[in-house]
Amino acid sequence: MVRWFHPSTLVKTGVKAFLSAVIGKQADRRLLDALTNPKQPLEQPYFDCTVDNENRPRDVLWMDYVSDLGDGWNATYAVATAVMNPDLALEDPEGVTHHTKGGEVLIFGGDEVYPTASVQEYYDRTVGPYEAALNHRRCRPYLFAVPGNHDWYDGLVSFVRLFCQGRTSEAWRTRQRRSYFAIKLPHGWWLLGTDMQLESDLDNAQVEFFKDVVSYMQDGERVILCNAEPDWAVSKIKAIAGRKALEGNLQFLEQLVLGKKVSIFLSGDLHHYMRHSDRDGRQKIVAGGGGAYLYPTHLPREKREAEGFELRQCFPPIQKSRRLTWHNLAFPVLNPWFGVFMGAFYLQLGWGLASDMNSTGASDKLSRVLHRALKGTGTLFLGGLTLVSAITFADARRGAPWRWLAGGFHGSAHLLTAGLLTRAAVTLVKQLGVGAPGSLRRDIASWLLLFSSGCLAAPFLVGLYLISSLNMFGCHANEAFSSLAIPDWKCFLRLRIDASGLTIYPVGIRRVPRAWKRGAPGGAPVWVPDPADTRATRPELIEKPIVIDPNRARPVRVGVGLRPLVSVP
């Protein structure tokens, strides 16, 4: 799993995110793709799955939906082996076994790679696991991919190269030509995949594309709308500007298909399973458990509710999610390099605070010069930097007063701890009689002791801060669980469309295997779970299959006179 609190990961991801945000505003890859891949005369804007390869009408179609994958091997490969299994038997919570088929269509719902996009990362973290997991008793599915924010971190270059240029691999076949797509499904169903870029932005070319698609729809047909972010959840979490953009764009898309009955909203981004539904049977499902670190489900109530919809199920259960947060007590062990970084910072800060580390001997001139240089403005600068960093790190979703209060308390705790550790280190070295007073030997011993204690104390403080922030105030959900890098509680959706409607099978894996062995020759996956790993669990149904009756799910009007927030070329 990606270690998000590793200093190098923090720097690289931050730089990539900043550059992609700046460049994305000035050079939108979607506009370029629209110009280089214009619709040809008489060409349909959608991929037709209503007929098979021999042009015979399909009566039954199976699909798989996987989102937020390409992180750790164990998690991604565990999901991939289940997805690529041609005949997957799943037991529901009541003990009933349901037999499912591998999807002829595979949907990647966003964030196909972590931490940042590149061709090599895609092959190592996504393509490779799925190729190794392919069971050759089944045909390669058609793959359609929705880009998420991590796919945009290289300007969408690698995403387009792998998924939008007709490339095939041993695991799938691609057909989409842009970063958004439409699929016509049997029995009056459609699936639309959007691309909201990094700023929840719906570009004009995409608007025209979906308008064209809608013109092919017939009255009474239903739509499955796939978006990289769940507006019903993320809009409660994001900053105001991003929230308005996301809500406005998705509401506009819903208006485009009004009368075409959007029955199902699918999304990832949040790495768990959470389903809402309304009285008419419309579903809003977050299924972001394709391989990335687990995201908590015990969010504040307002973040778990969708307007007009009720929470029906989540995975993991809320109480289990709350208990998992306490694993942050092991933050120093789980994030050792972050501890090293913080230990070095404590050393710099404490060095300037140690009033009795003055050197008087001629042989200690270097120590004296460095100490005096750091003691004045340097100490004030580092102290101020600590407070500013803590305030900046504080969760912005509760507003400025919360950031100043929580961040100020967090930063002050680090300053106090650094001061106490400095005094303890100097006193202990003095009592042990290490070196002569003011000698370089004594200074070095104090520095080593301060650094070592800082490596443990600083990340432990961060862990306590994350536990209290999430479990008491509902803040820092992402940071509190990315620090844990939990590979378990994975999920994906298996969908079946037939004449009676659409059935959704929410598949969960409570604990992914940690040990693998070579698969049997003859077309089996390259690696299979090692029976010696007795704690690993089989795929199961998170809840009973969800049956969508197309005659029941009714559209809900989301407003009149809305306009899309578009980027005009």
- Give the pLDDT confidence of 501-531 residue by residue, as tens digits: 999 999 999 999 999 999 888 777 899 999 9
Residue 353 has pLDDT above 70, yes or no: no
526 within some domain: yes
Residue 336 has pLDDT above 50, yes or no: yes
Strands 501-509 and 490-498 turn out to be antiparallel
* Per-range mean pLDDT, top range of 260-264, 272-276, 371-375: 272-276
Residues 106 and 125 in one domain: yes
Each residue's pLDDT tens digit, 284-334? 999 999 999 999 999 876 555 566 788 999 999 999 999 999 999 999 999
Last residue of a domain, one of 482, 507, 536: 482
Residues 67 and 211 in one domain: yes
Q: Which of 238, 260, 250, 444 is nearest to 347 (CA)?
A: 444
Residue 545 has pLDDT above 70, yes or no: yes
Residues 233 and 266 in one domain: yes
The CATH number of whichever domain residue 303 belongs to comes to 3.60.21.10
Greatest CA separation for the chain: 93
Token pair belonging to 42: 């008489």
Residues 373 and 461 in one domain: yes
Residues 341 and 368 in one domain: yes
Are 263 and 223 spatial neighbours (Cβ–Cβ below 8 Å)?
Answer: yes
Are 332 and 342 spatial neighbours (Cβ–Cβ below 8 Å)?
Answer: no
The separation between the first and the last C-alpha atoms of the chain, rounded to the nearest angstrom, is: 39
7 within some domain: no
Token pair belonging to 147: 């880009």
Collect all residues with Cβ–Cβ distance below 8 Å to 526 and sequence separation of at least 6: 132, 133, 518, 519
- Is residue 437 classed as helix, strand or coil in its secondary structure? coil
42 within some domain: no
Residues 165 and 232 in one domain: yes
Residues 99 and 224 in one domain: yes
Residues 268 and 414 in one domain: no
Each residue's pLDDT tens digit, 200-257? 567 788 888 888 898 898 888 899 999 988 877 654 444 444 444 444 566 677 766 5
Number of Cα atoms under 13 Å in the Cβ half of residue 215? 8
55 within some domain: no
Domain boundaries, position 181: 61-316+489-548
* Helix (H) or strand (E) segment spanning residue 273: strand 273-277
- Is residue 37 classed as helix, strand or coil in its secondary structure? coil
Residues 493 and 436 in one domain: no
405 within some domain: yes
Residues 134 and 195 in one domain: yes
Residues 462 and 513 in one domain: no
Q: Which residue has the tokens 């923090």?
A: 10
Counted domains in the chain: 2
Collect all residues with Cβ–Cβ distance below 8 Å to 142 and sequence separation of at least 6: 47, 49, 104, 105, 106, 172, 173, 174, 175
Are 442 and 436 spatial neighbours (Cβ–Cβ below 8 Å)?
Answer: yes
Each residue's pLDDT tens digit, 447-477? 899 999 999 999 999 999 999 999 999 899 9
Residues 520 and 426 in one domain: no
